[in-house]
Chains A and B, each alone.
Chain A
Amino acid sequence: MTAELHCAHCDEATLHTLVYAGRLLVSTTCQICHTQVKHEPGDLRIQYVKDLENRIVTKPRRLWTRFWRSPVAVFWSFPRKAIEQPGKIWNEVKELFK
């Protein structure tokens, strides 16, 4: 994902590449000077585990809410999303250990 943020090194608004692992920001990188901002890796991994637990615990409620809001869309998208989930989590874990 790219977004315009103010780079402290370039001292102007520049495009940044943002990498997320689940709900957590792993890093932002300025596309001009390549300055990277990230959490301490150890902190982030601990945080990721806590966040993953929270995602798993709250998933049924979130899915149920979404289902009542638009049952047809959730019904048809559910199988694809369920299949994609392990790959998605594997990619998140890879980001944390880069």
Chain B
Amino acid sequence: MVLAAGSGSRFGHATNKVWLPLSGRRIISRSLMNAVKSFPKCRAILVINPLDASLANQIISREAAGIKVELVHGGQTRHESEFNALTHLVPAIQSGDVNVVLIHDGARPLATSGLFLEVATTAHRHGGALPAISVDPLEIDLRPSERIMRVQTPQAFRAKELLEAYRRAKLDNFVGTDTSACMERYFPEIDNMAVTGEVHNVKITYPQDLVIAEHVLEMRGYR
């Protein structure tokens, strides 16, 4: 499940950053292709803003041809978008066809297919997994004894528990900051394992991130 439902702009008709070109392909198609590379038989869901539907179809047919992508309309928040996508998967989750769900931020085009595979395998074994990298305490002026991890996506969880967590969150009006926050609230007994994240798995937020991402892609031979 790749999330790309951001509104694009609070100011008017600007492009949502996930649709920006990055070394010849859109950020979102890089995120999507990396996500599906390791799982050729899995379902791929792209959660979009309804206003971006025609752009999404155009880009998928041009840059992700050969991949069957299911488009789902997102909501006002990331949490609501995740819930919409999970609702779309209800029959498959209940029948057991889908047993692990990976959620990835569309603005992270540099996560490697190896990371997706590791997160999925860990979640299948333990119930939940997310990539994390440690933060140098000096970087954010912490005491050396304090440990802070920088959490990334893709995050993965067993599908039935994830769906149940989001259903309960809906009833409680709980909005989590990310998927793991919701899982930890409703299923604290499930092990949410940290796997080693990737330094290059940046979320495109600042203009500088685009420049860095171009350099990383150049190093990788634009793959």
Contacts and interface: CB of A to CB of B under 8 A. Distances in A.
Interface residues of B, number: 27
Nearest to A66: B62
Nearest to B8: A4
A5 B205 contact: yes
Nearest to B19: A3
A3 B205 contact: no
A91 interface: no
Interface in B172-223: 204-208, 210-211, 214, 218, 222
B14 A15 contact: yes
Interface string A52-68: 00100000000001100
A28 B11 contact: no
Nearest to A38: B211
B65 A37 contact: no
A25 B210 contact: yes
B221 to A, nearest CB: 10
A35 to B, nearest CB: 8
A15 B211 contact: no
A4 B9 contact: yes
B17 interface: yes
B218 A47 contact: yes
A69 interface: yes
Given A4-B11, A8-B206, A25 B214 contact: yes
Contacts of A5: 17, 204-207, 210
Contacts of B206: 5-8
Contact of A28 (B8, B207, B222): B207
Is the contact region of chain A dominated by helix, strand, or loop, or is it mixed? Answer: strand
B214 A15 contact: no
A14 B14 CA distance: 10
Which bracket fits the contact residues of A? 20 to 34
A8 B16 contact: no
Contacts of B204: 5
A18 interface: yes
B208 A37 contact: yes
A28 to B, nearest CB: 4
Given A15-B11, A28-B207, A3 B214 contact: no
Given A5-B205, A69-B61, A69-B65, A24 B23 contact: yes
Contacts of B11: 4, 14-15
A1 B15 contact: yes
B24 A1 contact: no
A3 B210 CA distance: 12
A14 B15 CA distance: 12
5 nearest CB pairs, A to B: A28-B207, A23-B24, A37-B207, A2-B14, A3-B15
Interface of A: 1-8, 13-16, 18, 20, 23-25, 28, 30, 37-39, 47, 54, 65-66, 69
13 contacts: A3-B8, A5-B207, A8-B208, A13-B10, A15-B9, A15-B12, A16-B207, A23-B24, A25-B22, A25-B210, A25-B214, A28-B207, A65-B65
